Structure 1
Amino acid sequence: MASKTTKSRHLSSLVNSDVIFVKLHAPWEVLGRYAEQMNVRMPFRRKIYYLPRRYKFMSRIDKQISRFRRWLPKKPMRLDKETLPDLEENDCYTAPFSQQRIHHFIIHNKDTFFNNATRSRIVHHILQRIKYEEGKNKIGLNRLLTNGSYEAAFPLHEGSYRSKNSIKTHGAVNHRHLLYECWASWGVWYKYQPLDLVRRYFGEKIGLYFAWLGWYTGMLFPAAFIGLFVFLYGVTTLDHCQVSKEVCQATDIIMCPVCDKYCPFMRLSDSCVYAKVTHLFDNGATVFFAVFMAVWATVFLEFWKRRRAVIAYDWDLIDWEEEEEEIRPQFEAKYSKKERMNPISGKPEPYQAFTDKCSRLIVSASGIFFMICVVIAAVFGIVIYRVVTVSTFAAFKWALIRNNSQVATTGTAVCINFCIIMLLNVLYEKVALLLTNLEQPRTESEWENSFTLKMFLFQFVNLNSSTFYIAFFLGRFTGHPGAYLRLINRWRLEECHPSGCLIDLCMQMGIIMVLKQTWNNFMELGYPLIQNWWTRRKVRQEHGTERKINFPQWEKDYNLQPMNAYGLFDEYLEMILQFGFTTIFVAAFPLAPLLALLNNIIEIRLDAYKFVTQWRRPLASRAKDIGIWYGILEGIGILSVITNAFVIAITSDFIPRLVYAYKYGPCAGQGEAGQKCMVGYVNASLSVFRISDFENRSEPESDGSEFSGTPLKYCRYRDYRDPPHSLAPYGYTLQFWHVLAARLAFIIVFEHLVFCIKHLISYLIPDLPKDLRDRMRREKYLIQEMMYEAELERLQKERKERKKNGKAHHNEWP
C-alpha cells in the first residue's frame, strides 16, 4: 500500500520522499485460519480419471492427425507444456481447507501451499474487515482509500517479466515471466491461452474473461469462413449477375438528379461500379448467411455455457457461492439514520425506503431518456449534414468529387459520425456515473450492474443509431420527383444511390468497425505505454541520469498504471459492442466476422501484454461466470434476428428480385428463379418522370442536352409508380403492393423460422456436458470414499498408539 503517512513501519520511496510503502505479509497461521473461514478449496488427493469409451475413439483420431503434423507449424495451437509449471491443482481433488484435517491435504511446502493469488485474496479479506479507528463506520481498506489516507493498495507482481536467459534453456524466473513468454508475447499468437496459469496469477474473474474472449474468438472462425465464402461467391458470380450487367449496359437510361438544382442528370451505367460492389454483399447467399449467423449466435451462447461449466468444474467454482457483500460506504453514509435488521446476519444495517428508491429510479430513467434524445439529435444533425452537403459536393470543382457526390457525402458523414461517437462516449461515461451514484445502490455488485446497463445502452444507441437510420430510413420517405418530402420544408431528404442503399450501409459498417477497433487498440496499449514511458523519464530526470535505476518491486509496480476503476468493464464492453456489429447487420456486411476475428487475435495478446507488463497486478477475485454480460449477449442475439430480417426484406433488393423472377419476369409462372429469369429487372424497377413536372426549387440547372443533343423530356427513378400519362399519374403500381406483401411475409416467416431453430438448439444442447456430469458424480462418490478411508485410517492409528502407550504404561508399573 502506498501512503503519505509516517506513523507506521514503512519502506521509503527512492524517488518521492513523501510516498511511504507499507508492505504486508501474512504468516502461515493467519493464512490457515482465514482460509478456513473463507472456505478456500485446496488439493488433498490426486484425481483418478475415468475416461468414457468415446475418448478412446478420440485418441485414435489424435494418432491419425499426428502423422500429418510434419506439414504443420511446430506445435500449432498447442501449449508448450514443458515450459509450464506443474499445475497440480487441476490434477487433484479439492476440499474446503480445514486445520483440523490438515493431514488430508497435499502440503509439500507451507510457503507455496497457498499461491500468490490466494494469499493476496486472504490479505485483502482481512483488510476489508479490520477496524482502523473506534467508530461504527471506521472499518475496511476501501474507506481509507476513499478518504485519501492511502493512495493505492495492490498486490505485487512476482518480479520482472523479462530475463537475460532463454526460458527454454533456463526455465521461467517467475510466473509473470512465464506468462509473458507463453501468453503475452506476439510469437505465440497462434497458440491456446494458458488459462490455468492466468487464473492462478490474476484470479478466476480475469481468467474467465480471457476464457470467454478465447472462446468467442475461436467461434468466430466458422463465421468468418462462411462470411468470406459469401463474399467470394459474390466475386465469382459477378460476371453472371444479370442485374449488374443491365446496369452497366444501361447507357440509354437517364436517371433523375439526386438533389436540387446542382445535381446533374446521370446515366444509369455510371453506377456500374457500385452495382458490382453491391452484388458482392447482396447476392443469393446473403439469406443463408443471415440464418447461419442467427443460429451461430445461439450455438455460441449455448456452448459457452457448457464451456463455462467445464471451467467452473476445473477451477472449483461449481459449489462456490459469493459472500454477502459489504454495504457501500456512500450508501451507509446516506442512510445511516434509517436502519433495519439484516435477515442473514441478524445485525442492524442502513435501509433505503421504497419511495426514495422509486423516486431516484424515475430521475435516473429520465436522465437515460434525455441522453438517448441527445443521440437522436446527433443523428438528426448528421442527416442535415448529408442533405446539405450532397448539393455542395455536386457543385464541387473537382470532377472526381462532383461525379461521386453521394459517396463523398456518405464517407465524410461516417467519419464525422465516428468523431461524434467518440466525443459523446466521454460524456456518457460521466452521465452514467452520475445517474448510478444518484440511485444509491446498496452493494458494489448492484452498482456495477446498474452502471453496466447504462453504459451499454448509451454506447449501443450511440454507435448504432446512425446505422439504423441508413438501414431503415435512408431513401424510404423521400417522396418522388415533383413531390419530394422536405426537412423543415427546406431541405430535400437524401435518396439512395441508383444502385441501392446497401452500399451506404456497407460503408457505414466497414468504416466505423475499422476505425473503432483501431482506436480502441491504440488506447488500450498506446496510452499505458506512453504514461509509463513518461513516468520513467521523470524518474531519470529527478535522479539526473539516463541509466536504468534498479527499483524495488513495490516501487516498480507503483509506477505502473492502475487497472481501470471499473475493472473489466471496458474490455467486456468493447467485445460486446463488437459482437453486436458482427451479428445485428451481418446480412449487409458479411465480412464483419472476419474483421472481428482479425481484431480479436490481436486483442487477446494486447490485453495479455497490458495485464502482464503495463498494469499493476489487480486483486485476484473469484467469479462463476461473466455476470450480466451474458444476458446482454442473449438480447443482442434476439435483436440480430429481427434486424437481419428487415435488412434483407427492406434494405436489400432480394425480395424485389424474387417477386420479379416469379411474377413479372420471363420465367413468371414456371417456378424458376435463375439469372435468365432476371432479364429486364432493372427497367421494371425504375419509374418514369416527366421533367416538366419538376418543382421550381428542384428543377436542375442542366436540361440534359449533353446526352442526346436535345433537352430531355423524361428521366427515371427507383420506385414502382405509374407513368405521368396514365390515369393515376405517379400512383403506386400493382408490383409495388406485391413487393410490399412479399417483404412483410418474408419478415414474418424468417423471424419465426429462425426463432424456432434457436429455441430448438437451446433445448437440444444441455448446459452441462454428460461426461462432465458423470465425472462430477463419480468425484463426489470418490471423495466420500476417500474421506471415509482417511478418517478410518486416522482412527486406527490413534487406537494403535493408545494400545502402544497402554502397554508401555503397564510395563512401567512397579
Structure 2
Amino acid sequence: MSADERKPILLETVAPASDEIIPARPPPIGFEALQGDEILPPLPRAEESEAYNLDQEANAPLYRKSQYFDDGIRKIDYVLAYEDGKETSHEEQKKQQRRKRFEESLRNQDLQLEYSKKDVSFDRKTNFIKIHAPWPVLCQYAEILKMKMPLAENDMEEFDSCWSKCPNPFELDSDVVKPDPNYFTAPFNRERMEQFHIKNRDTFFTDAQRSRIVYEILSRAEFEDFGTERKKFGIKRLQGNAYIAAFPLHEGPYQSDHSIYASGPINDRHLLYEMWARPKMWYKYQPLDIIRKYFGEKIGIYFSWLAFYTNMLIPAAIVGLAAFLYGIFTMMTDVPTTEICEPNKAGDLIMCPLCDEFCDYWQLKSSCNYSRASYLFDNAATVFFAGFMSLWSVFFIEFWKRRQKEIEYDWDVSNFEDEEETIRPEFEATVTRKRINPINKTEEPYVPFWSKLIRYSTAAVVILFMLCLVIGAVIGVIVYRIVIIAVFAKQKVISQRAPLLTTATASLLNLIAILILNWIYKKLACALTNLEQHRTQTEWEDGFTLKMFLFQFVNYYSSIFYIAFLKGRLSGSPNDYKYLNNERLEECHPSGCLIELCIQLGVVMVGKQAFNNFVELLLPKILNWFQSRTIRDAQKHDHNRVPKQWESDYVMTELQPLGLFYEYLEMVLQFGFVTIFVAAFPLAPLFALINNIIEIRLDAYKFVTQLRRPLAARAQDIGVWYGILKSICIIAVISNAFIIAVTSDFIPKLVYKLEKSPRHDLTGYVNFSLSVFDIKDFPNRSRPLIHENITECRYRDYRYPPTSPYKYQYTIMFWHILTARMAFVIVFENCIVLLAWFIAYLIPDIPHGVKIQILRENYLVKEALFRAEATKRAKAKAEETKQD
C-alpha cells in the first residue's frame, strides 16, 4: 500500500454539533471558571469501552467529546495550533509551505489529523490540528522506544509490617485513590503481542504514553526550508514560527459539583486536584503513581524526591528547634553575655572606633542585645547540631539511593538511559559526521574527540570568565559593606547598630544582584550546552545543570562564605589596619560574626523562596487570566458556548522546557543552606520544612490547574543532581567544621576554660578575648577626631599589650587557639567521614525485596521468550506438515 493510500480522511470542523448545546448559564469569570464549565457528575469513563461513540451517548458531557475526533471514536493524542497571517506576505507563504510539508510527513507516518478551523474557535483567529495515533502506530513506536508494558501480574507476596496495620492519618483514602494493579513488565514486542496483558486496546497505552509516542514522531517529522532543498525536521523548530503551540490535552475539568468521596473522580486530573493540589491535603502523602501516570516519570521522580527530602527534614527541624530553644533557655545564664550586659563588669570596657576619624569610642555594654542574639546561634548545642546535620546528610544520600532504586524498578525506568533513550533530534540535525555504532551496528552521527575538546575548552573558558564576574559582584558588595558601615557609624542615632544595618542592606543588595545575574546565566549556559553537542536529552540536561548550578553556587554562597570565613580576619589591628579602595576593612563584632552570617542566610534564603513562589504561582495565574480574555469576551455574547478542551488548554501557560530544572535548583540551593551553613542557622531545617510543605502543594496546584499538560517525559533518576547533592554533603562537613572552629567562639571558650579559668568556667572570658590598645599609637588616618580623656581602648584579638616588649604581636594563646581550631577541624571531619563510610556499608543500595522482584521479572521474561520460540517452531512445523 502506498503512502497516499494510507492517508486517512481529514475531517474539518465547521460548527458545533447540535448535541453539544447545553442549557444557558451565567457567564464564567476568570480562567479557572473556564476549567469548571463542565462540572458534572462522573459518567462511565471513555477508556472503559472499545470505542466511545457519541451517537450512543448523546448526553455525554462536552469535555468528554473534546477528547475525541468528531467521530467520537479516535482519541486526540496531541494538538497543534497556528494563526493565519496575510496570505500575500512572503513570510506567511513560507509558514504555509512548512506546515503543509510537515503535516504530509505526519500522515506518511500513519498519524491521523483532523482540522478545527478558526471560524469555529473562540478568538476567530486560531486554527487547531488534532492528532490521533492508531493502534498499529502505537505498537510500532512502543517497540522502537522499548516501552515496558504489562507482561504478567506480580505474584510476589507482600509482607505487611506491624506499622502498616495501624491507622495512619497521612495515608490517602484508598476508596478514592485506588492502587494500580501491579504487573511484571517487559519491552514491548509486536511479534509476541499475545503474551502481554492486553485487556483492552483503548486502555493498554495510557494517555501519557500515547502523547509521548506522538511527540516522538513530531520531533522527527521532516519539513523543507522554504526556497531550498535542505531538509529540516522537528516540531521544536516550527513551534513559535509555523505553529504557535503544540501540547497534549488535559483529561477534562479539575473540579466537580459533587464530592469526590461520594461520586468518585471524573478523571485523573480531578483526582489529582482533590487529593493532591488542595491546600487542605498538606499533611497527606502524595499519589505518586497517579502523578507518574498523568505527567510522566520525569515529573513523578521530581515529586518523589521532594517528598523524600521533606520527610527527611522533619527530624532535622526537630533537632534544630531544640538547639535554638536551648539557646533561648540558657541565654540569660550565659556568663560572657552577662559580663557584657552588666556595667560593673566587662560592659564598662571602652572599645576602639569602628571606622576612621569620624567614629567615636563606645562602651561594650551598648552591644548587650546583639550579644544575646549571637548566643542564640553560638552555644554548646551548635556543635552537636552541626555534627548531627553532617550525619543527617549522609543518611539522606544513602536512603535516597535506596528509594531511587525502588522507583526505578516500580516505574520501569531502570535501564532507560542505557537502552531506551533515543538520540536528540537537534544532535541528528547539527552533526554531519557519521559512524557505525559498535553496539547496534547502525549508522549514527557522532562528534570526534578533537571537536569535543575544542568545544568543552571554549565552554570552560567562558564559564571561568563568568565566575570571575560573579566574584567581582561579590567584591562590589564587600566594598559597599566597608563604605556604608562608616557612613552608618558616623550617625549618632544609628551608630551602635551600624554592623546590623550594614549586614541587612548588603544582604538585600546581594539578593538583587543574584536575581539580575540569574537571567544572564540562563542564556549563557543554554548557549554553551548547545555548543557542546550532547547526544541525548539526558546528557544535554546534565551539562546544562552543571553549568547553571556552578553559577548559582558562586552567586548565592560567595557572600556568605566571605562573612563566615574572611570577614574580620583580614582587617588587621588598630596600629595597622588594612584598607581596600582607601576604606578600612570591616571587623567582626566583639561577639563574633555568626549573627551577621545568620542574617545573611535568612535574607537570601527567605527572599529567594518568596520570589520563586511569586514566579511559580502568581505569574501563571496572571498570564492565564490575560490570555483567556478572548474566551470570556466570546461567552459574553453567547452564553451557550463552552470552550473545547483544546481551546481551554491553549490559553493556559506552557511549562518551559527547563521548568523542572528550576524546581530542582530551588530545592538543591535550599539543601545547601540547610547543610553547609546550618551551624550558623539551626532554624534553617524548620524554615525549609515549612517552605517545602507549601512548595509541594503550590507546585501541584500549578501543574494541575495553571499549566498546559506537559509532555510525559521519561527519566531514570534525578540525574546529575544526585552527584551535586553528594558534593554539597562533602562541602557541608568541611564548612560546618570551619564555622564551629573559626567563626564561632566555641574553641576559644573551650581553650579558656581548660587553660585560663581557675574554676573551669567562662568567668572573665570577655576580658580574655579582648586586647588592649594605646590610643597614642593610632595612625593619623585612623585617629578619632574626638577622644576626650580616653587613653586606651579594647579590640577583639589575641595580641600583647602596648607595655609588652612584643607590642601588638600575637600572644602564645593565639597560637594555642589556632592549633585547637585546626585540631577540631581534623577530628570533626575524620569522625564524620568514618561514620559516613560505616553507614554506607550498613545500608545496601538496592532493597532486598526489589532484588527478588527483579530476579523474578527476569525469569518471567526468559520464560516468555522460550514460549514465543516454541510457538514459532510449532507454527513452522504445522506449515511444513500442511504443505506435505
Structure-2-length-normalised TM-score = 0.82
Tell me by how many angstroms 1:133 deviates.
Answer: 5.6
User: CA 1:254–1:476 in structure 2 vs 1: closer, same or farther (change >3 Å)?
Assistant: same
- Aligned counterpart in structure 2 of residue 690 of structure 1, from 744, 768, 774: 774
- The residue matched to 2:794 in structure 1 has which SS? strand
Which digits, 9 at most, give the CA deviation of each residue in 1:34-74, with x for residues without a partner?
Answer: 3233332222433223245xx4xx23x455x44xxxxxxxx
CA distance in 2, matches of 1:445, 1:459: 21
- The residue matched to 2:591 in structure 1 has which SS? coil
Match of residue 27 from structure 1: 134
- Aligned counterpart in structure 2 of residue 105 of structure 1, from 196, 199, 204: 196
Tell me by how many angstroms 1:324 deviates.
Answer: 5.0
Corresponding letter in the other structure for 2:763: V
Maintained 8 Å contact 2:220/2:425: no
- Aligned counterpart in structure 1 of residue 477 of structure 2, from 367, 373, 382: 382
Maintained 8 Å contact 1:666/1:679: no
Corresponding letter in the other structure for 1:655: I
- 1:693-732 aligned at under 5 Å gives the runs 693-703=777-787, 705=788, 711-732=789-810
User: CA 1:110–1:86 in structure 2 vs 1: closer, same or farther (change >3 Å)?
Assistant: farther
Tell me by how many angstroms 1:247 deviates.
Answer: 1.5
Tell me by how many angstroms 1:753 deviates.
Answer: 1.5
Which digits, 9 at most, give the CA deviation of each residue in 1:177-199, with x for residues without a partner?
Answer: 11111111111110000000001
CA distance in 1, matches of 2:550, 2:767: 44
Tell me by how many angstroms 1:628 deviates.
Answer: 0.8
Match of residue 450 from structure 2: 355
Corresponding letter in the other structure for 2:148: R
Match of residue 307 from structure 2: 214
CA distance in 1, matches of 2:700, 2:140: 34
Maintained 8 Å contact 1:144/1:150: no
User: CA 1:185–1:726 in structure 2 vs 1: closer, same or farther (change >3 Å)?
Assistant: same
CA distance in 2, matches of 1:436, 1:33: 32
Tell me by how many angstroms 1:548 deviates.
Answer: 9.5
CA distance in 1, matches of 2:82, 2:164: 56
Corresponding letter in the other structure for 2:670: Q
Match of residue 128 from structure 1: 219
Corresponding letter in the other structure for 1:746: F
Corresponding letter in the other structure for 2:825: I
CA distance in 1, matches of 2:556, 2:752: 36
- Answer yes or no: is 1:282 the counterpart of 2:378: yes
- 1:41-440 aligned at under 5 Å gives the runs 41-51=148-158, 55=160, 58-59=161-162, 61-63=163-165, 65-66=166-167, 76-88=169-181, 91-132=182-223, 138=231, 140-142=233-235, 144-145=237-238, 148-249=241-342, 250-320=346-416, 321-323=418-420, 325-329=422-426, 331=427, 334-336=430-432, 338-344=433-439, 346=441, 348-396=443-491, 399=493, 401-440=494-533
Maintained 8 Å contact 1:470/1:501: yes
- Answer yes or no: is 1:559 the counterpart of 2:654: no
Maintained 8 Å contact 1:145/1:152: no
- Answer yes or no: is 1:10 the counterpart of 2:102: no
User: CA 1:312–1:600 in structure 2 vs 1: closer, same or farther (change >3 Å)?
Assistant: same
CA distance in 2, matches of 1:137, 1:36: 30
CA distance in 1, matches of 2:635, 2:547: 46
Maintained 8 Å contact 1:689/1:724: yes
Tell me by how many angstroms 1:743 deviates.
Answer: 0.8
Maintained 8 Å contact 1:328/1:444: no
- The residue matched to 2:380 in structure 1 has which SS? coil
- The residue matched to 2:773 in structure 1 has which SS? strand
Maintained 8 Å contact 1:50/1:775: no
Match of residue 560 from structure 2: 467
Maintained 8 Å contact 1:585/1:640: yes
User: CA 1:15–1:751 in structure 2 vs 1: closer, same or farther (change >3 Å)?
Assistant: same
- The residue matched to 2:711 in structure 1 has which SS? coil
Match of residue 651 from structure 1: 743
Which digits, 9 at most, give the CA deviation of each residue in 1:365-421, with x for residues without a partner?
Answer: 121111111111111111111111112112236x2x233111111111111111111
- The residue matched to 2:717 in structure 1 has which SS? coil
Which digits, 9 at most, give the CA deviation of each residue in 1:319-371, with x for residues without a partner?
Answer: 54443533543x555553x4444434545554544434323322221211111
Corresponding letter in the other structure for 2:370: Y
- The residue matched to 1:10 in structure 2 has which SS? strand
CA distance in 1, matches of 2:538, 2:717: 14
Maintained 8 Å contact 1:723/1:729: yes
Maintained 8 Å contact 2:149/2:185: yes
- The residue matched to 1:568 in structure 2 has which SS? helix
Match of residue 530 from structure 1: 622
CA distance in 2, matches of 1:645, 1:226: 18
CA distance in 2, matches of 1:100, 1:461: 54
- The residue matched to 1:2 in structure 2 has which SS? strand
Q: Where does the alignment leave 5 or more consecutive residues of structure 1 unmatched?
A: 67-74, 668-672, 706-710, 807-814
Maintained 8 Å contact 2:421/2:536: no
Maintained 8 Å contact 2:366/2:496: no
Which digits, 9 at most, give the CA deviation of each residue in 1:678-733, with x for residues without a partner?
Answer: 11111111111111222222222332x5xxxxx11111111111111111211111
User: CA 1:751–1:147 in structure 2 vs 1: closer, same or farther (change >3 Å)?
Assistant: same
CA distance in 2, matches of 1:549, 1:491: 70
Maintained 8 Å contact 2:801/2:807: yes
- The residue matched to 1:94 in structure 2 has which SS? strand
Maintained 8 Å contact 2:239/2:246: no
Match of residue 71 from structure 1: none
Corresponding letter in the other structure for 2:219: Q
- After superposition, the CA RMSD in angstroms is 2.8
Maintained 8 Å contact 2:437/2:444: yes
User: CA 1:30–1:511 in structure 2 vs 1: closer, same or farther (change >3 Å)?
Assistant: same
Residues 126-135 or 414-423, more deviating: 126-135
Maintained 8 Å contact 2:123/2:630: no
Which digits, 9 at most, give the CA deviation of each residue in 1:734-774, with x for residues without a partner?
Answer: 11110011111111111111112112212221101123223
CA distance in 1, matches of 2:202, 2:539: 37
Corresponding letter in the other structure for 2:651: N
Match of residue 680 from structure 1: 764
- Answer yes or no: is 1:746 the counterpart of 2:824: yes
Match of residue 145 from structure 2: 38
User: CA 1:546–1:215 in structure 2 vs 1: closer, same or farther (change >3 Å)?
Assistant: farther
CA distance in 2, matches of 1:327, 1:571: 23
Match of residue 73 from structure 2: none
Tell me by how many angstroms 1:549 deviates.
Answer: 5.6
Structure-1-length-normalised TM-score = 0.89
CA distance in 1, matches of 2:254, 2:406: 30
Match of residue 756 from structure 1: 834
User: CA 1:646–1:310 in structure 2 vs 1: closer, same or farther (change >3 Å)?
Assistant: same
Tell me by how many angstroms 1:30 deviates.
Answer: 2.5
Maintained 8 Å contact 1:666/1:678: no
